[in-house]
């Protein structure tokens, strides 16, 4: 959890806007540090968290969260965190074992054209089972949160952009609107620019569709001037809903540097290495 | 043009609000809903992209008792057991049934939020046909649809916009809370009017047109040029008679007058002269340069 980012987004573990759909995106850069931020933020906020991790193993996320001061293993044991480890699940779908009782969530791997209904069913059961864990003194958790890292992997696995948008729509409908929780999704764009429509149409279309759905975007880009040791890139924060002061869309640009145990955000040109 | 459209789309009209990821047209759509509600018309909203709570939250202060929300948001594809409205029900019969469920004397306005959702699952010709049938069917007075233009191929957007009577394309303007609306309106006589306006949506969802965009701005420019540029100068552009006389008297240094010429050619007394007496060395024969040699 990066406190500087919290103050930019006006959130704390104790008070955050509910019903928000946050879109994290990157173009030729890496926004995964933001996923770790939101994961640790919502775990500290005592939310019921469902994490769909398609990119890395559980140990990877666990190690990073440990550095940010949150234990994923404990959260999992307490029933606060439901973790879908995409890599393991896909293995059990592709190489079925006889005594396998794996979930149906990754069924789309066999036939991508059926859509992501089963993955949605997994998310729905994870976020709806709040406080129904049984009588062993399970704790009450806050509003549910869904994190997906990342949606572009689904495109690579053969799912169409439209099916991914359907999935994100259903997730938004149940988590944000019905249960007043939050959704955080990461999407990657490898295209050169926004006008580039030729070879990478799927991810562009996915990103635009998600932008229409979401209420807050954090778009990570590399510096336009190239690599720099002291500034790792820039984040464009864009609020798309009606804010308190009546403005509809508000944009702010920050540069950032990721440290070992955190990240610093500053206005463009005010890096401590420059001043 | 925009206030005119807000006052009511013609009977049988289809208004398409086109937006992109950089500026959402939903706020303008809400202004249209608000305007229709304030005219005491019944409004049916077919909501794919917003929940009822969200929509009504956006319409705070409007008389929402005439607003009928048809929930296609929670389950548009029938993934759960009891879908309220799925995208495949988007056809004349179903929509007429929905609108007719509530009895009003006046035909209602149908708001579709958004056409993009439908176009993702229903083929473009089917969508266009349904829209056309709805316009002619008489169950609804007019249709207002939101379309995310950057989500579709250009041909799809073109097909939908061709079947519309009015198209408003919204784009972000230079200033934060303002936006540019490019409006194309086809009247029944076949005349096409195009206009571009900068507008702002106030908190109570009324639309304020700030200025006629580019064309208007150019007009303002030309008006400015007509004003006298010599109005507030710090120096004098005209000469008085005495000033002109003094100016004409003055001999400029580079003008070669007669007096100057004579003064230069006739040197006065006491000036230097050159006396020259040729000596032997000056007696030089060009044809025999070695004449002085004693050979």
Please name each of the domains of chain A with its CATH number: 14-94+104-129+140-190+199-219 (3.40.50.300)
Q: Which residues of B touch A165 (CB under 8 A)?
A: 120
Which of the pair, A96 or B46, is modelled with greater confidence? B46
CA distance B127 to B115: 9
pLDDT at B261: 78
Question: Is some CB atom of chain B closer than 8 A to the CB atom of A244?
Answer: no
Angle at A267 between CA A261 and CA A272, to 5 degrees: 60
Residues in chain A within 8 Å Cβ distance of B177: 246-248
Distance CA A141, CA A109 (A): 32
Share of chain A above pLDDT 70, in %: 88
**Distance from C-alpha of A191 to C-alpha of B22, rounded to nearest angstrom:** 18
Q: Over 70: is that where the pLDDT of A24 sits?
A: yes
Q: State the pLDDT at residue A243.
A: 52
- The beta-strand segments (E) located in A8-141 are 21-27, 47-53, 81-85
Residue A102 has pLDDT above 70, yes or no: no
Of A96-100, A196-200, B5-9, which range is least confident? Answer: A196-200
**Would B294 be classed as within a structural domain?**
no
Mean pLDDT score of chain A: 86
A258 or B217, which is more confident?
Answer: A258
Q: Please tell me chain A's helix, strand, coil percentages from 3-state DSSP, rounded to the nearest 5.
A: 35, 25, 40
> Across the interface, do A178 and B74 touch by the CB < 8 Å criterion?
yes
Note whether B173 contacts A: Cβ–Cβ < 8 A: no
CATH of the domain at B173: 3.40.50.300
Vertex B48 angle, CA B45 and B54, to 5°: 70
Closest by Cβ to B150, choosing from A169, A208, A213: A208
> Is B193 a domain residue?
yes
CA distance B1 to B215: 14
A142-189 per-position pLDDT tens digit: 899 999 998 999 998 889 999 999 999 999 999 999 999 999 999 998
Task: Say if B275 falls within a structural domain.
Answer: no
- For chain B, residues with pLDDT lower than 70 are 103-104, 213-227, 266-271
Predicted confidence at residue B217, as pLDDT, reads 47
Collect all residues of chain A within an 8 Å Cβ-Cβ radius of residue B121: 162
Size of interface A-B (CB pairs under 8 A): 56
Sign of CA dihedral A117, A121, A126, A130: positive
B89 within domain boundaries: yes
Alpha helices in chain B (DSSP H): 2-6, 26-38, 52-58, 92-100, 115-121, 124-137, 154-162, 214-226, 241-249, 258-265
Q: Which residues pair with B184 in a beta bridge?
A: B167, B194
- Expressed as residue numbers, the domain containing B122 is 2-213
Contact check, Cβ <8 Å, B23/A249: yes
Please tell me whether the peptide bond between B131 and the residue prior to it is cis, using omega within 30 degrees of 0: no
Q: Do A240 and B24 touch (CB under 8 A)?
A: yes
> Which chain A residues are closer than 8 Å to B151 by Cβ?
205, 208-209, 212
Q: Name the CA radius of gyration of chain B, rounded.
A: 42
B116 touches chain A (CB under 8 A): yes
Q: How far apart are CA B121 and CA B118, in angstroms?
A: 5
Residue B195, burial from CB neighbour count under 10 angstroms (0-12, 13-18, 19+): middle
In a domain, B94, yes or no: yes
DSSP code, position B4: H
* Chain-chain contact of B151 with A170 (C-beta, under 8 angstroms): no
Most A CBs within 10 A among B79, B146, B170, hence the mutation to make, goes to B79
- Mean pLDDT score, A193-202: 58
Contact across the interface for B21 and A212, Cβ inside 8 Å: yes
| Cβ atoms < 10 Å from Cβ of A174 | 22
Does B33 or A135 have the greater pLDDT score? B33
Beta-sheet strand order (sheet of A250-259): A81-85, A47-53, A142-149, A182-189, A21-27, A216-221, A233-239, A250-259, A262-266
Residue B256 domain-assigned? no
> What is the pLDDT, as a whole number, of residue B269?
66
- A230 or B214, greater pLDDT: A230
User: CB-based burial of residue A266 (10 Å sphere; 0-12 exposed, 13-18 middle, 19+ buried)?
Assistant: middle
pLDDT for A193 equals: 56
Instruction: Verify whether the Cβ–Cβ distance A173 to B75 is below 8 Å.
Output: yes
Q: Does a structural domain hold residue B221?
A: no
Residue B53, judged by CB atoms within 10 A of its CB (0-12, 13-18, 19+), counts as middle
Q: What is the pLDDT of residue B8?
A: 79
A218 has a pLDDT exceeding 80: yes
Task: Say whether A173 and B172 touch across the interface (CB within 8 A).
Answer: no
B19, B21, B60, B113: best mutation site toward chain A, by most A Cβ within 10 Å? B21
At residue A96, the 3 state secondary structure works out as coil
C-beta atoms surrounding B35 within 10 Å: 21
User: Is B174 domain-assigned?
Assistant: yes
Residue A251, pLDDT > 50, answer: yes
Which pLDDT score, from 0 to 100, does residue B202 have?
85
**SS3 of B164-192:** CCEEEEEEECCCCCEEEEEEEEECCCCCE
* Calpha distance B149→B170 (Å, rounded): 10
A35-72 confidence digits (pLDDT tens)? 999 999 999 999 999 999 999 999 999 999 999 999 99
State how many domains chain B has: 1
Instruction: Note the ipTM here.
Output: 0.84
Using the predicted structure, report yes or no on whether residue A198 has a pLDDT greater than 60: no
Residue (of A142, A117, A151) closest to A23 by Cα position: A151
Interchain CB distance below 8 Å, A162 and B120: yes
Is B74–A247 a contact, with Cβ atoms under 8 angstroms apart? no
Question: Would the pLDDT of A246 be above 60?
Answer: no
């Amino acid at each position: 959890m990066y406190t500087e980012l919290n103050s930019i987004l006006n959130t704390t573990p104790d008070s955050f806007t509910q019903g928000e759909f946050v879109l994290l995106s990157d173009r030729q850069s890496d926004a995964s540090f933001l996923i770790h931020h939101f994961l640790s933020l919502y775990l500290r906020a005592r939310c019921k968290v469902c994490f769909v991790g398609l990119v890395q193993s559980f140990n990877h996320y666990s190690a990073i969260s440990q550095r940010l001061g949150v234990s994923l293993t404990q959260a999992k044991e307490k029933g606060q965190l439901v973790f879908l480890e995409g890599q393991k699940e896909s293995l059990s779908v592709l190489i079925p074992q006889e005594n396998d009782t794996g979930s149906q969530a990754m069924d789309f791997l066999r036939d991508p054209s059926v859509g992501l209904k089963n993955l949605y069913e997994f998310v729905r059961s994870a976020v709806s089972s709040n406080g129904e864990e049984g009588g062993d003194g399970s704790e009450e958790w806050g509003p549910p949160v869904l994190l997906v890292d990342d949606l572009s992997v689904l495109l690579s696995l053969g799912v169409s952009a439209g099916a991914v948008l359907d999935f994100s729509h259903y997730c938004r409908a149940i988590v944000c609107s019905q249960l007043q929780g939050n959704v955080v999704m990461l999407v990657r764009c490898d295209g050169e620019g926004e006008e580039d429509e030729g070879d990478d149409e799927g991810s562009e279309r996915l990103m635009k569709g998600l932008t229409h759905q979401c209420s807050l975007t954090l778009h990570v880009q590399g510096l336009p001037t190239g690599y720099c040791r002291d500034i790792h890139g820039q984040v464009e924060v864009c609020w798309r809903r009606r804010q308190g002061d009546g403005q509809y869309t508000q944009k702010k640009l920050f540069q950032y540097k990721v440290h070992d145990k955190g990240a610093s955000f500053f206005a463009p040109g005010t890096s401590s290495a420059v001043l | 043009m925009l206030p005119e459209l807000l006052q009511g789309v013609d009977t049988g009209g289809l208004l398409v609000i086109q937006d992109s990821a950089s500026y959402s047209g939903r706020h303008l759509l809400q202004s249209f809903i608000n305007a229709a509600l304030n005219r005491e018309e019944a409004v049916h909203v077919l909501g794919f992209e917003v929940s009822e709570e969200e929509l009504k939250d956006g319409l705070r202060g409007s008389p929402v008792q005439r607003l009928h929300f048809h929930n296609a948001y929670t389950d548009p594809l029938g993934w759960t057991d009891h879908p309220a409205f799925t995208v495949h029900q988007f056809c004349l019969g179903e929509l007429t049934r929905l609108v007719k469920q509530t009895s009003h004397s006046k035909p209602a306005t149908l708001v579709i939020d958004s056409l993009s959702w439908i176009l993702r699952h229903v083929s473009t010709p089917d969508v266009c046909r349904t829209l056309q049938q709805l316009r002619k069917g008489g169950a609804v007075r007019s249709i207002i649809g939101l379309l995310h233009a950057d989500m579709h191929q250009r041909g799809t957007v073109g097909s939908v916009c061709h079947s519309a009577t009015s198209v408003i394309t919204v784009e972000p303007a230079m200033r934060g809370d303002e936006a540019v609306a490019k409006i194309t309106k086809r009247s029944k006589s076949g005349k096409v009017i195009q206009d571009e306006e900068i507008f702002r949506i106030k908190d109570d969802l009324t639309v304020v047109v700030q200025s006629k965009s580019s064309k208007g701005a150019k007009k303002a420019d030309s008006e400015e040029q007509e004003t006298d540029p010599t109005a507030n100068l710090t120096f004098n552009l005209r000469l008085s008679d005495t000033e002109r006389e003094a100016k004409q008297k003055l001999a400029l240094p580079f003008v070669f007058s007669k007096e100057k010429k004579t003064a230069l050619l006739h040197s006065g007394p006491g000036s230097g002269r050159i006396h020259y007496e040729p000596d032997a060395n000056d007696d030089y024969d060009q044809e025999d340069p070695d004449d002085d040699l004693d050979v």
